[in-house]
Structure 1
Protein backbone atom coordinates (compact mmCIF):
# COMPACT_ATOMS: atom_id res chain seq x y z
CA UNK A 1 0.00 0.00 0.00
CA UNK A 2 1.44 3.36 -1.05
CA UNK A 3 0.76 6.59 0.84
CA UNK A 4 0.64 9.84 -1.11
CA UNK A 5 0.07 13.46 -0.19
CA UNK A 6 -1.70 16.18 -2.13
CA UNK A 7 -1.25 18.26 -4.13
CA UNK A 8 0.16 15.78 -6.61
CA UNK A 9 3.52 16.39 -8.19
CA UNK A 10 4.68 14.83 -11.43
CA UNK A 11 7.12 12.73 -9.40
CA UNK A 12 4.28 11.27 -7.31
CA UNK A 13 2.14 10.53 -10.38
CA UNK A 14 5.03 8.74 -12.08
CA UNK A 15 5.45 6.35 -9.11
CA UNK A 16 1.85 5.10 -9.41
CA UNK A 17 0.84 2.19 -11.61
CA UNK A 18 -2.50 0.67 -12.56
CA UNK A 19 -3.55 -1.73 -9.82
CA UNK A 20 -1.62 -0.02 -7.01
CA UNK A 21 -3.44 0.32 -3.70
CA UNK A 22 -3.04 3.87 -2.41
CA UNK A 23 -3.91 5.89 0.70
CA UNK A 24 -4.50 9.56 -0.15
CA UNK A 25 -3.71 12.25 2.42
CA UNK A 26 -4.28 15.98 2.09
CA UNK A 27 -6.80 18.22 0.40
CA UNK A 28 -8.96 17.25 -2.58
CA UNK A 29 -11.92 19.00 -4.17
CA UNK A 30 -15.37 17.62 -4.87
CA UNK A 31 -17.21 18.17 -8.14
CA UNK A 32 -19.89 16.32 -10.06
CA UNK A 33 -21.34 17.06 -13.50
CA UNK A 34 -23.19 20.31 -12.65
CA UNK A 35 -20.07 21.75 -10.99
CA UNK A 36 -17.89 20.57 -13.90
CA UNK A 37 -20.18 22.37 -16.33
CA UNK A 38 -19.77 25.59 -14.34
CA UNK A 39 -15.99 25.18 -14.13
CA UNK A 40 -15.81 24.86 -17.92
CA UNK A 41 -18.06 27.93 -18.32
CA UNK A 42 -15.69 29.93 -16.08
CA UNK A 43 -12.74 28.77 -18.20
CA UNK A 44 -14.50 29.69 -21.46
CA UNK A 45 -15.38 33.13 -20.03
CA UNK A 46 -11.73 33.58 -18.96
CA UNK A 47 -12.76 33.89 -15.31
CA UNK A 48 -10.81 32.48 -12.34
CA UNK A 49 -11.66 29.05 -10.99
CA UNK A 50 -12.72 28.79 -7.32
CA UNK A 51 -9.53 26.86 -6.54
CA UNK A 52 -6.07 26.46 -8.07
CA UNK A 53 -6.51 23.33 -10.19
CA UNK A 54 -2.79 22.75 -10.69
CA UNK A 55 -1.71 19.45 -9.08
CA UNK A 56 -5.14 18.85 -7.56
CA UNK A 57 -7.39 15.82 -7.31
CA UNK A 58 -11.14 16.08 -7.93
CA UNK A 59 -13.31 13.55 -6.13
CA UNK A 60 -16.55 12.83 -7.98
CA UNK A 61 -18.89 12.84 -4.99
CA UNK A 62 -22.05 14.53 -3.75
CA UNK A 63 -21.90 13.79 -0.03
CA UNK A 64 -24.95 13.57 2.17
CA UNK A 65 -25.43 15.99 5.08
CA UNK A 66 -23.38 15.15 8.15
CA UNK A 67 -25.01 13.31 11.03
CA UNK A 68 -24.57 14.85 14.50
CA UNK A 69 -20.92 14.90 15.54
CA UNK A 70 -19.55 14.13 12.06
CA UNK A 71 -17.98 16.44 9.46
CA UNK A 72 -19.67 14.73 6.50
CA UNK A 73 -22.30 12.14 5.72
CA UNK A 74 -21.98 9.27 3.29
CA UNK A 75 -19.37 10.17 0.66
CA UNK A 76 -19.18 7.45 -1.96
CA UNK A 77 -17.97 7.99 -5.53
CA UNK A 78 -20.27 8.70 -8.44
CA UNK A 79 -19.95 7.35 -11.98
CA UNK A 80 -16.93 9.03 -13.51
CA UNK A 81 -17.99 8.81 -17.16
CA UNK A 82 -20.51 11.60 -16.50
CA UNK A 83 -17.53 13.97 -16.27
CA UNK A 84 -15.74 12.69 -19.39
CA UNK A 85 -16.81 15.61 -21.60
CA UNK A 86 -15.14 18.07 -19.23
CA UNK A 87 -12.09 16.12 -18.10
CA UNK A 88 -9.59 16.65 -20.97
CA UNK A 89 -9.86 20.45 -20.63
CA UNK A 90 -9.33 20.31 -16.86
CA UNK A 91 -6.34 17.99 -17.30
CA UNK A 92 -4.84 20.40 -19.83
CA UNK A 93 -4.99 23.12 -17.16
CA UNK A 94 -3.06 21.08 -14.59
CA UNK A 95 -5.57 18.78 -12.87
CA UNK A 96 -3.50 15.74 -11.87
CA UNK A 97 -5.97 13.25 -10.42
CA UNK A 98 -9.55 12.14 -10.22
CA UNK A 99 -11.34 9.78 -7.84
CA UNK A 100 -14.54 8.08 -8.95
CA UNK A 101 -15.96 4.78 -10.06
CA UNK A 102 -16.24 3.00 -13.37
CA UNK A 103 -14.54 3.16 -16.72
CA UNK A 104 -13.54 6.27 -18.65
CA UNK A 105 -13.79 7.09 -22.34
CA UNK A 106 -10.95 6.62 -24.79
CA UNK A 107 -10.64 10.44 -24.99
CA UNK A 108 -10.12 10.67 -21.22
CA UNK A 109 -7.72 7.71 -21.22
CA UNK A 110 -5.64 9.47 -23.90
CA UNK A 111 -5.74 12.78 -21.99
CA UNK A 112 -4.60 11.07 -18.77
CA UNK A 113 -1.57 9.75 -20.64
CA UNK A 114 -0.92 13.01 -22.53
CA UNK A 115 -1.07 15.22 -19.43
CA UNK A 116 0.60 12.67 -17.13
CA UNK A 117 -2.32 12.38 -14.70
CA UNK A 118 -3.94 9.58 -12.70
CA UNK A 119 -7.43 8.13 -12.24
CA UNK A 120 -8.27 6.45 -8.95
CA UNK A 121 -11.19 4.20 -8.08
CA UNK A 122 -12.91 4.43 -4.72
CA UNK A 123 -15.18 1.62 -3.59
CA UNK A 124 -18.74 2.23 -4.71
CA UNK A 125 -21.43 1.44 -2.15
CA UNK A 126 -19.07 2.17 0.73
CA UNK A 127 -19.81 5.87 1.20
CA UNK A 128 -20.40 5.59 4.95
CA UNK A 129 -17.05 3.82 5.40
CA UNK A 130 -15.19 6.26 3.14
CA UNK A 131 -16.58 9.22 5.11
CA UNK A 132 -14.45 8.13 8.09
CA UNK A 133 -11.37 9.13 6.06
CA UNK A 134 -12.63 12.71 5.56
CA UNK A 135 -11.61 14.84 8.52
CA UNK A 136 -12.53 18.36 7.36
CA UNK A 137 -15.05 19.82 4.90
CA UNK A 138 -15.27 23.38 3.58
CA UNK A 139 -17.71 24.49 0.90
CA UNK A 140 -15.89 26.78 -1.54
CA UNK A 141 -18.15 27.32 -4.58
CA UNK A 142 -21.59 26.91 -6.12
CA UNK A 143 -23.52 26.56 -2.85
CA UNK A 144 -26.78 26.63 -4.81
CA UNK A 145 -25.93 23.10 -6.02
CA UNK A 146 -26.41 21.74 -2.49
CA UNK A 147 -24.57 18.44 -2.04
CA UNK A 148 -23.03 18.91 -5.50
CA UNK A 149 -21.35 22.21 -4.60
CA UNK A 150 -17.57 22.27 -4.73
CA UNK A 151 -16.09 21.38 -1.38
CA UNK A 152 -12.55 21.19 -0.11
CA UNK A 153 -12.03 17.93 1.78
CA UNK A 154 -9.13 16.97 4.00
CA UNK A 155 -8.46 13.24 3.58
CA UNK A 156 -6.62 10.94 5.96
CA UNK A 157 -5.56 7.57 4.55
CA UNK A 158 -8.41 7.59 2.00
CA UNK A 159 -8.27 4.18 0.25
CA UNK A 160 -8.22 4.07 -3.56
CA UNK A 161 -6.93 1.90 -6.38
CA UNK A 162 -5.06 3.27 -9.39
CA UNK A 163 -7.36 2.52 -12.33
CA UNK A 164 -5.46 4.41 -15.05
CA UNK A 165 -1.88 5.55 -14.81
CA UNK A 166 0.15 8.14 -16.71
CA UNK A 167 1.70 5.37 -18.82
CA UNK A 168 -1.58 4.39 -20.45
CA UNK A 169 -2.21 1.28 -18.35
CA UNK A 170 -5.88 0.70 -17.47
CA UNK A 171 -7.17 -1.99 -15.08
CA UNK A 172 -10.37 -2.19 -17.14
CA UNK A 173 -8.44 -3.30 -20.25
Structure 2
Protein backbone atom coordinates (compact mmCIF):
# COMPACT_ATOMS: atom_id res chain seq x y z
CA UNK A 1 0.00 0.00 0.00
CA UNK A 2 1.29 3.42 -0.96
CA UNK A 3 0.10 6.91 -0.14
CA UNK A 4 0.48 10.10 -2.15
CA UNK A 5 0.48 13.40 -0.27
CA UNK A 6 1.60 16.98 -0.68
CA UNK A 7 5.01 17.84 0.71
CA UNK A 8 7.45 20.71 0.88
CA UNK A 9 10.22 20.57 -1.73
CA UNK A 10 12.66 21.27 1.13
CA UNK A 11 11.68 18.12 3.06
CA UNK A 12 14.74 15.86 3.43
CA UNK A 13 12.89 12.93 1.82
CA UNK A 14 12.20 15.03 -1.27
CA UNK A 15 15.74 16.37 -1.49
CA UNK A 16 17.06 12.80 -1.26
CA UNK A 17 14.81 11.62 -4.11
CA UNK A 18 15.71 14.62 -6.27
CA UNK A 19 19.41 14.04 -5.63
CA UNK A 20 18.98 10.46 -6.87
CA UNK A 21 17.14 11.75 -9.95
CA UNK A 22 19.87 14.32 -10.65
CA UNK A 23 22.57 11.67 -10.29
CA UNK A 24 20.74 9.38 -12.71
CA UNK A 25 20.18 12.13 -15.29
CA UNK A 26 23.81 13.25 -15.08
CA UNK A 27 24.83 9.80 -16.33
CA UNK A 28 22.55 10.17 -19.38
CA UNK A 29 22.96 13.76 -20.51
CA UNK A 30 25.53 16.57 -20.60
CA UNK A 31 24.98 19.41 -18.12
CA UNK A 32 23.56 21.76 -20.77
CA UNK A 33 20.76 19.26 -21.51
CA UNK A 34 19.86 18.73 -17.84
CA UNK A 35 17.23 21.34 -17.02
CA UNK A 36 17.39 21.11 -13.24
CA UNK A 37 15.13 23.48 -11.37
CA UNK A 38 15.55 24.11 -7.64
CA UNK A 39 11.94 23.81 -6.50
CA UNK A 40 12.76 25.23 -3.07
CA UNK A 41 13.28 28.65 -4.68
CA UNK A 42 9.70 28.87 -6.00
CA UNK A 43 6.86 30.61 -4.15
CA UNK A 44 4.55 28.14 -2.42
CA UNK A 45 1.48 29.25 -4.41
CA UNK A 46 3.24 28.41 -7.71
CA UNK A 47 4.18 24.84 -6.81
CA UNK A 48 2.48 21.51 -6.32
CA UNK A 49 4.88 18.96 -4.79
CA UNK A 50 3.83 15.41 -4.01
CA UNK A 51 5.55 12.40 -2.50
CA UNK A 52 4.74 8.68 -2.62
CA UNK A 53 5.35 6.75 0.60
CA UNK A 54 5.30 3.02 1.20
CA UNK A 55 3.73 1.27 4.22
CA UNK A 56 6.77 2.07 6.35
CA UNK A 57 6.42 5.75 5.33
CA UNK A 58 9.62 5.67 3.28
CA UNK A 59 9.56 8.16 0.41
CA UNK A 60 9.77 6.16 -2.83
CA UNK A 61 8.74 8.71 -5.43
CA UNK A 62 8.01 12.36 -6.05
CA UNK A 63 6.80 14.81 -8.64
CA UNK A 64 5.94 18.45 -8.98
CA UNK A 65 4.03 20.92 -11.10
CA UNK A 66 5.13 24.50 -11.47
CA UNK A 67 2.03 26.64 -12.01
CA UNK A 68 2.60 29.49 -14.45
CA UNK A 69 -0.38 31.63 -13.46
CA UNK A 70 -1.87 31.57 -16.96
CA UNK A 71 -3.73 28.25 -16.71
CA UNK A 72 -0.70 26.22 -17.69
CA UNK A 73 1.83 24.31 -15.66
CA UNK A 74 5.01 22.35 -16.13
CA UNK A 75 5.54 18.85 -14.78
CA UNK A 76 8.93 18.64 -13.06
CA UNK A 77 11.05 16.25 -11.02
CA UNK A 78 9.01 13.07 -11.51
CA UNK A 79 10.95 10.16 -10.05
CA UNK A 80 10.15 6.70 -8.74
CA UNK A 81 12.84 4.77 -6.87
CA UNK A 82 13.95 1.90 -9.14
CA UNK A 83 13.09 -0.72 -6.49
CA UNK A 84 9.44 0.41 -6.55
CA UNK A 85 8.91 0.66 -10.30
CA UNK A 86 6.53 -1.60 -12.21
CA UNK A 87 3.59 -1.00 -9.86
CA UNK A 88 1.95 1.85 -11.80
CA UNK A 89 3.05 4.36 -9.15
CA UNK A 90 3.98 6.82 -11.89
CA UNK A 91 0.44 6.81 -13.29
CA UNK A 92 -1.01 7.29 -9.81
CA UNK A 93 1.39 10.13 -9.07
CA UNK A 94 0.65 11.91 -12.36
CA UNK A 95 -3.11 11.54 -11.77
CA UNK A 96 -2.80 13.05 -8.28
CA UNK A 97 -0.67 15.93 -9.57
CA UNK A 98 -3.06 16.57 -12.47
CA UNK A 99 -6.11 16.56 -10.17
CA UNK A 100 -4.50 19.10 -7.85
CA UNK A 101 -3.37 21.25 -10.79
CA UNK A 102 -6.85 21.25 -12.26
CA UNK A 103 -8.34 22.19 -8.88
CA UNK A 104 -6.03 25.23 -8.95
CA UNK A 105 -7.24 26.37 -12.37
CA UNK A 106 -4.62 24.67 -14.51
CA UNK A 107 -5.96 23.47 -17.86
CA UNK A 108 -2.73 22.53 -19.71
CA UNK A 109 0.35 20.71 -18.52
CA UNK A 110 3.66 20.56 -20.37
CA UNK A 111 6.90 18.77 -19.70
CA UNK A 112 10.41 18.25 -20.95
CA UNK A 113 12.07 14.88 -20.65
CA UNK A 114 15.15 13.31 -22.09
CA UNK A 115 15.05 11.09 -25.17
CA UNK A 116 16.97 8.33 -23.37
CA UNK A 117 14.34 7.99 -20.63
CA UNK A 118 12.15 5.52 -22.49
CA UNK A 119 10.21 4.41 -19.40
CA UNK A 120 9.34 8.02 -18.58
CA UNK A 121 8.25 8.68 -22.16
CA UNK A 122 6.04 5.57 -22.06
CA UNK A 123 4.54 6.69 -18.75
CA UNK A 124 3.68 10.11 -20.15
CA UNK A 125 2.22 8.65 -23.35
CA UNK A 126 0.09 6.16 -21.36
CA UNK A 127 -1.11 9.10 -19.27
CA UNK A 128 -2.28 11.07 -22.31
CA UNK A 129 0.66 13.37 -23.01
CA UNK A 130 1.46 14.11 -26.64
CA UNK A 131 4.62 15.44 -28.23
CA UNK A 132 4.74 19.17 -28.87
CA UNK A 133 7.26 21.85 -29.82
CA UNK A 134 9.73 23.25 -27.32
CA UNK A 135 8.07 25.80 -25.03
CA UNK A 136 9.50 28.71 -23.02
CA UNK A 137 11.96 28.82 -21.39
CA UNK A 138 13.39 25.90 -23.39
CA UNK A 139 15.07 25.91 -26.77
CA UNK A 140 14.93 22.90 -29.10
CA UNK A 141 17.46 20.29 -27.95
CA UNK A 142 18.14 17.02 -29.80
CA UNK A 143 18.32 15.29 -26.40
CA UNK A 144 14.95 16.66 -25.21
CA UNK A 145 11.40 15.62 -25.89
CA UNK A 146 8.56 18.05 -25.16
CA UNK A 147 5.03 16.92 -24.35
CA UNK A 148 1.71 18.40 -23.28
CA UNK A 149 -1.71 17.36 -22.07
CA UNK A 150 -4.97 19.29 -21.90
CA UNK A 151 -6.63 18.68 -18.55
CA UNK A 152 -9.86 20.28 -19.76
CA UNK A 153 -11.18 18.92 -23.06
CA UNK A 154 -12.87 22.22 -23.93
CA UNK A 155 -10.75 25.18 -22.81
CA UNK A 156 -13.84 27.39 -22.84
CA UNK A 157 -14.92 25.46 -19.73
CA UNK A 158 -11.69 26.41 -17.94
CA UNK A 159 -12.79 30.04 -17.69
CA UNK A 160 -16.29 29.37 -16.37
**Same fold by TM-score greater than 0.5:** no
Between structures 1 and 2, the one with greater helix share: 2
What TM-score results when the alignment is normalised by the length of structure 1? 0.27
